Amino acid sequence: MTARVSPHERWLEMAREHPELHEFLSGLRPGEVLSGTVAAVENFGVFVRLDKGPAHPVFPGVGFVTWPEVTWRHVDDLSEAVRTGERITGEFLQYDTWNMEARLSLRALQPDPFQAFADITTNGQELHGPVTKVVPFGVFVQIADGVEGLVPDVDLAVGDEVSVVVTEIDRERRRVVLASGRG
């Protein structure tokens, strides 16, 4: 039976085997802006070959962007937001010592469409947009670029153009609740 390796033991082994990579990653500071080229787009995130720093011994890039950190907008497939070979810039979040990679955020350097929407929209305001998704408890309607809201308990189809009224904007949970519109 093989003994389990603790995260600290794994990190020590990786740091010993790849001192240049460890030195590079441990020298990064949260908030630092890094650039590179998308090396691979997977269903769980994006690998990035960083402009500075060594290659990764296992992964296609030393930078990694998790799905939620790629974009503020909803995408069904990460290739809708980034493509292999594309040049990108991201904010360094942390040194992932288990995988020896730089965790990055692309969306940290992008304006947040939800907050911009919330700044100019009020409860009771009427909006128009297409139904983007049907769920058992209602539908989602695109009410601004990168912003969708829920209309509960209605029977509509994806693609239907509808009028809706804003009933609640929850900045903390990043949610908009809508009601069927007047017209």
Q: pLDDT per residue over 160-174, tens digit each?
A: 999 999 999 999 999
Would you call 133 exposed, middle or buried from its count of C-beta atoms within 10 A (0-12, 13-18, 19+)? Answer: middle
Query: In which band, very low, low, confident or very high, does the pLDDT at 47 lie, cut at 50, 70 and 90?
Result: very high
Mean pLDDT of 60-65: 96
The whole-number pLDDT of residue 48 equals 97
120: enclosing H helix or E strand: helix 113-120
Using CA atoms, how far apart are residues 14 and 94, in angstroms rounded to an integer? Answer: 17
Whether the predicted pLDDT of 182 surpasses 80 = no
Query: In which band, very low, low, confident or very high, does the pLDDT at 75 lie, cut at 50, 70 and 90?
Result: confident
Could you tell me if 41 and 83 are in contact, meaning their C-beta atoms sit under 8 angstroms apart? Answer: yes
Whether the predicted pLDDT of 53 surpasses 90 = no
Could you tell me if 39 and 83 are in contact, meaning their C-beta atoms sit under 8 angstroms apart? Answer: no
Percent of the chain with pLDDT over 70: 98
Mean pLDDT of 65-75: 92
The SS3 assignment for 53 reads coil
Is the model more confident about 181 or about 110?
A: 110
Contacts of 36 (CB under 8 A, 6+ apart): 48, 49, 50, 51, 61, 63, 87, 88
Is the model more confident about 38 or about 9?
A: 38
Could you tell me if 137 and 125 are in contact, meaning their C-beta atoms sit under 8 angstroms apart? Answer: no
pLDDT tens, residue by residue, 134-160: 999 999 999 998 899 999 999 899 999
Element counts in the chain: helices (H) and strands (E) = 3, 10
Mean pLDDT of the chain: 93
The DSSP secondary structure of 28-91, one letter per residue, reads --TT-EEEEEEEEEETTEEEEEESSSPPPSSSS-SEEEEGGGT-SS--SSGGGT--TT-EEEEE
pLDDT tens, residue by residue, 21-35: 999 999 999 999 999
119: enclosing H helix or E strand: helix 113-120
The whole-number pLDDT of residue 112 equals 92
Contacts of 23 (CB under 8 A, 6+ apart): none
How much is the pTM?
Answer: 0.79
